[in-house]
A and B are shown apart, each in its own frame.
Chain A
Amino acid sequence: MKSICNILYVIVTLLFTASNLEAKGTITYNDQRLLELKRAFLRNDEKVVAHINAIIESSEHYFSEKPLNIVSDKRRFAPSRDPRDYISLSRYWWPDPDTKDGLPYIRHDGESNPELEEYDYRKITRLESTVTNLGMLYYITGNERYAARASQILNEWFLDPVTGMNPNMVYAQYVPGMTYLRGTGILDARSIVYALNGAMLIEGSKFWSNTQKEALTGWVKAFLYWMHNSTQGGLERNASNNHGLWYDIIRMGLLYYIDDYPQVKKVTETSLCNRLDLQQESDGSFPHELARTLGLSYTAFALDAFYEANEIALKVGIDLWSITTPKGRSIAKGIEFAYPFFLEPHKWVYQQISPFETDRGAMILYIAGLKLNKREYIEAAKKIGYTPKPSFKSILYLDINN
């Protein structure tokens, strides 16, 4: 009984916190920064208005675009033949030149196969950016038009009986000809979590009904069941690199969406936190990422993962930045390791077969500077420079350039 009371207490507290923020909040964004952004927009802050207007302009195409779902214009079908099964190609796998039909595909790490475009991957990243931007625009401008379109897209992608995606990723990051099961495709579900941010941002709109919200909750629960109980989910849960991190973040995000805060907490404390010990060396590096042909990019990707995790964890009262494991591992350690290379990528001693995106390093260092109260990191971030694309993800950290 006591624990149930505690749970209810957490829920009630969160509801009150949310109402202070004038929206229920999001899953993976810093809601305080979102609110500040909205206030800055409303008081006509020149810089913010300019950026928001740029996003508004670049968002017009979301209204005229063709349908956004995994069924329309489908070129590659899953072996199930069900167009509602999401299928994407495992990025670094290519036809085997030594076999007649090229099967099974073989791996060239770091080299993206252009056949990617024939599958559903591009669609799911479009879903992510479209719904996020529309949701944010609704939140900031209050214009129902954005909510209406976001709702329509969410409906088409998740809920429609003809076009709605089945709640699993059995065929994500598929490798033609491979006979064993892998869990790696679950990584693609990051986009699902980001799309759910958008769904949360349009709560309160007349275009997002309770029925829709309930139906989407049902979808998310079914997807979570698959993540937790399928063979593929089990494999990904045990992944010893960034995939394992993202597996946890994705389920934390989904659990947060269905208001299961105790489980979010439990995953954070009993699974994600252990991964610091499991994945990080004493020098702060992530050896599984160093082994990649894009070692610096994947190191940043692992740090990104902890950042995203922290945004969710904070909402259930855990600050991952404050955690140092018994073995002495921490996010700060990871930053310490990466810092000189973010500043001067050419000094990277491991492989990096394509140029490193320096903006990513700037953002990671900037947030670390704020979190750890370290001027050095903030200065470094400014020195590296940050040229945000017109997207909300980056606009939240516009002040890097101040």
Chain B
Amino acid sequence: MNLLRKFTTIIVISVSIAGCSKSDNIISLMYEDSLLKAAKEAISANDSAIMPKYTDFINYVDSVTLKMEPLSVVKDKKRVAPSKDPRDYITLSPYWWPDPTIEGGVPYIRRDGERNPEVYEYLERVNSTIFAESVQLLAVAYYLTDNEKYADKCAEMLRVWFLDSITGMNPNMTYSQTVPGMVEIRGTGIIDARRIAGALNGAKMIENSQYWTQEDRLKLKDWANSFRYWLENSVNGLKEAQAPNNHGLWYEVTHQAVVMYGGDFDYLRKIIVEEQLPRIDSQMQPDGSFPHELARTLGLHYSTFAMEALNLTDIMAEKIGLNIWSYKADNGNSMLSALEYLKPYWKDPQSWPHMQISPFNSERGSLLLYRAGKRINNDEYIKLAKSIGYNPDINEKENSNTIPRINSLLYYKLNIK
């Protein structure tokens, strides 16, 4: 028995060492950890290139985020899912309207581009956006300052959104972007789940805080694993994984974050290589364009949006030693060919030959160019990025996945000529 005990002890120790070394190196799931470190150093060195941005950032977190009421899917709920469970996340698909020719109006019919004001009766979309943003703001503030008050608030918000037995969101998005009366099950609502991924990113960053206990961590890990099961096995998830456009790419980004949060690094590698990379092969044309995105009324936005998904895949991939920016498919497709395709339009959005019915913010391109330049050691991209500049509108909410307040800190060097 003693021998057996010693033996199992050795196994347990070696397993935990292997496990720890892998995840302990990681500060966040979805940020470049080197940029987080650099920002922290620059702030402690009182570097004038970052201090004004940092002061804005921390003032905002102190005056707004820290004082916020925690959000949840049940908060002020007006519309409950068909399950009658207020803990089910539900939002409305924005361009669908009651059918005037039918009594009751269902099933709804599509009027593309016209937003149904009923959307605003489903609060989860905007609340999940604010929630994910707040969690990450607090988590970054905690990382940069080591001040526990940020972790405390962050932990509270995470518990209310995910873990509380009355307010905690059920780990699925069955009713995301729902269409009243529609019989077919769609996967499109999973695009909203990138906010969930963002929240997990924040949760990862406060893991060393006393306010985020071992129990909290295990519970959220269980939540993430359960959500992962739903993503991988539900009709909604299976459909979204097959989406031939940016939805497929974003599905995988969320999937990656959830898997990574659960600590399954081998599987993370597997889905990046076996699921996401083939989308580079299949979603692009030889000229580097994304034809499904070109067909949209916001073609430049959606093309950039697709690249933002792949870039996030790369940020996560980098943490396990993969480089997606240098991947080249057998058919010649690559992120770089897409970058080359989009580069001139990021420089000059007016020259975009396809549809783009709203203004496009070139700074998103700048960020992608900068990161590509760093990842493949191409100074020309970095130069171009700097010439476009990166001074994001910190109030921008729609059509971007980034949180400008955080990115303006992480990418502060973009503005150093």
Choose from A9, A80, A166, A234 the contact partner of B165 (Cβ within 8 Å): A234
Contacts of B85 in A (CB 8 A): 170, 181, 230-232
Contacts of A185 in B (CB 8 A): none
Q: CB-CB contacts of B222-236 with A at 8 A, as 1s and 0s? A: 110110011001110
The interface size bin for chain B is 20 to 34
Does any Cβ of B come within 8 Å of A84's Cβ? yes
Given contacts A5-B9, A222-B230, contact A82 B225 (CB under 8 A): no
* B222 near A225: Cβ-Cβ < 8 Å: yes
CB distance from A262 to the nearest CB of B (A): 14
Please, how many angstroms separate the alpha-carbon atoms of A161 and B233 in the complex? Answer: 7
* A218 near B229: Cβ-Cβ < 8 Å: yes
Please, how many angstroms separate the alpha-carbon atoms of A232 and B85 in the complex? Answer: 9
Contacts of A84 in B (CB 8 A): 234-235
Contacts of A5 in B (CB 8 A): 5, 8-9, 12
Q: Using a CB-CB cutoff of 8 Å, which residues 1-23 of chain B contact chain A?
A: 4-5, 8-9, 11-12
* A8 near B83: Cβ-Cβ < 8 Å: no
Please, how many angstroms separate the alpha-carbon atoms of A5 and B170 in the complex? Answer: 34
Please, how many angstroms separate the alpha-carbon atoms of A225 and B54 in the complex? Answer: 41
CB distance from A392 to the nearest CB of B (A): 31
CB distance from B339 to the nearest CB of A (A): 35
Does any Cβ of B come within 8 Å of A349's Cβ? no
Q: Using a CB-CB cutoff of 8 Å, which residues 210-264 of chain A contact chain B?
A: 218-219, 221-222, 225-226, 229-232, 234
Contacts of B83 in A (CB 8 A): 79-80, 170-171
Does any Cβ of B come within 8 Å of A12's Cβ? yes
Given contacts A80-B83, A170-B85, contact A226 B226 (CB under 8 A): yes
* B4 near A9: Cβ-Cβ < 8 Å: yes
Please, how many angstroms separate the alpha-carbon atoms of A161 and B185 in the complex? Answer: 14
Q: CB-CB contacts of A295-333 with B at 8 A, as 1s and 0s? A: 000000000000000000000000000000000000000
Does any Cβ of B come within 8 Å of A81's Cβ? yes
Given contacts A12-B4, A231-B87, contact A222 B12 (CB under 8 A): no
Contacts of B185 in A (CB 8 A): 81-82
Please, how many angstroms separate the alpha-carbon atoms of A80 and B88 in the complex? Answer: 11
A-B contact pairs, 23 of them (CB 8 A): A1-B12, A8-B8, A8-B12, A79-B82, A81-B183, A82-B234, A161-B235, A166-B233, A166-B234, A170-B83, A171-B83, A219-B229, A219-B233, A221-B225, A222-B229, A225-B223, A225-B225, A225-B226, A225-B229, A229-B170, A231-B87, A232-B85, A234-B165
Contacts of A180 in B (CB 8 A): 84
Chain A contributes a number of interface residues (CB within 8 A of B) equal to: 31
* A9 near B174: Cβ-Cβ < 8 Å: no
Contacts of A221 in B (CB 8 A): 225-226, 229
Does any Cβ of B come within 8 Å of A369's Cβ? no
CB distance from B306 to the nearest CB of A (A): 26
Contacts of A234 in B (CB 8 A): 165
Does any Cβ of A come within 8 Å of B171's Cβ? yes
* B171 near A225: Cβ-Cβ < 8 Å: yes
Does any Cβ of B come within 8 Å of A167's Cβ? yes
Does any Cβ of B come within 8 Å of A334's Cβ? no
- Residue of chain B at shortest CB distance from A179: B84
Contacts of A179 in B (CB 8 A): 84
Q: A181-B84, A230-B85 are in contact. List 9 more A-B contacts (CB 8 A).
A: A4-B8, A8-B8, A79-B84, A82-B185, A84-B234, A166-B233, A221-B225, A222-B226, A225-B226
- Residue of chain B at shortest CB distance from A158: B233
Please, how many angstroms separate the alpha-carbon atoms of A373 and B41 in the complex? Answer: 75
Given contacts A82-B235, A222-B229, A234-B165, contact A9 B84 (CB under 8 A): no
- Residue of chain B at shortest CB distance from A171: B83
Please, how many angstroms separate the alpha-carbon atoms of A164 and B171 in the complex? Answer: 18
Where the two chains meet, the residues of A that have a C-beta atom closer than 8 Å to any C-beta of B are 1, 4-5, 8-9, 12, 79-82, 84, 161, 164, 166-167, 170-171, 179-181, 218-219, 221-222, 225-226, 229-232, 234
- Residue of chain A at shortest CB distance from B164: A229
Contacts of A222 in B (CB 8 A): 225-226, 229-230, 233
Does any Cβ of A come within 8 Å of B198's Cβ? no
Please, how many angstroms separate the alpha-carbon atoms of A166 and B230 in the complex? Answer: 8
* A161 near B238: Cβ-Cβ < 8 Å: yes
Please, how many angstroms separate the alpha-carbon atoms of A229 and B171 in the complex? Answer: 10
Does any Cβ of A come within 8 Å of B70's Cβ? no
Does any Cβ of A come within 8 Å of B168's Cβ? yes
Choose from B4, B168, B174 the contact partner of A229 (Cβ within 8 Å): B168
- Residue of chain B at shortest CB distance from A4: B12
Contacts of B226 in A (CB 8 A): 221-222, 225-226, 229
Given contacts A8-B12, A80-B174, A222-B226, contact A230 B5 (CB under 8 A): no
* B5 near A9: Cβ-Cβ < 8 Å: yes
Contacts of B230 in A (CB 8 A): 222
Q: CB-CB contacts of B158-170 with A at 8 A, as 1s and 0s? A: 0000000110101
Please, how many angstroms separate the alpha-carbon atoms of A232 and B183 in the complex? Answer: 25
Contacts of B9 in A (CB 8 A): 1, 5
Contacts of B165 in A (CB 8 A): 229, 231, 234
Contacts of A81 in B (CB 8 A): 82, 183, 185
Please, how many angstroms separate the alpha-carbon atoms of A4 and B15 in the complex? Answer: 12
- Residue of chain B at shortest CB distance from A228: B222
Residue among A180, A230, A231 with the highest chain B CB neighbour number at 10 A: A231
Give the 6 A-B CB pairs with smallest separation, nearest first: A79-B82, A225-B226, A222-B229, A8-B8, A222-B226, A4-B12
* B87 near A230: Cβ-Cβ < 8 Å: yes
Q: Using a CB-CB cutoff of 8 Å, which residues 322-380 of chain B contact chain A?
A: none
CB distance from B275 to the nearest CB of A (A): 15
CB distance from A271 to the nearest CB of B (A): 16
Please, how many angstroms separate the alpha-carbon atoms of A161 and B235 in the complex? Answer: 7
Contacts of A164 in B (CB 8 A): 233
Contacts of A225 in B (CB 8 A): 171, 222-223, 225-226, 229
Q: Using a CB-CB cutoff of 8 Å, which residues 82-116 of chain B contact chain A?
A: 82-85, 87
CB distance from B1 to the nearest CB of A (A): 8
* B82 near A230: Cβ-Cβ < 8 Å: no
Contacts of A170 in B (CB 8 A): 83, 85
Contacts of B8 in A (CB 8 A): 4-5, 8-9, 12
- Residue of chain A at shortest CB distance from B5: A5
- Residue of chain B at shortest CB distance from A218: B229
Please, how many angstroms separate the alpha-carbon atoms of A142 and B50 in the complex? Answer: 72
Please, how many angstroms separate the alpha-carbon atoms of A291 and B45 in the complex? Answer: 74
Please, how many angstroms separate the alpha-carbon atoms of A226 and B226 in the complex? Answer: 8
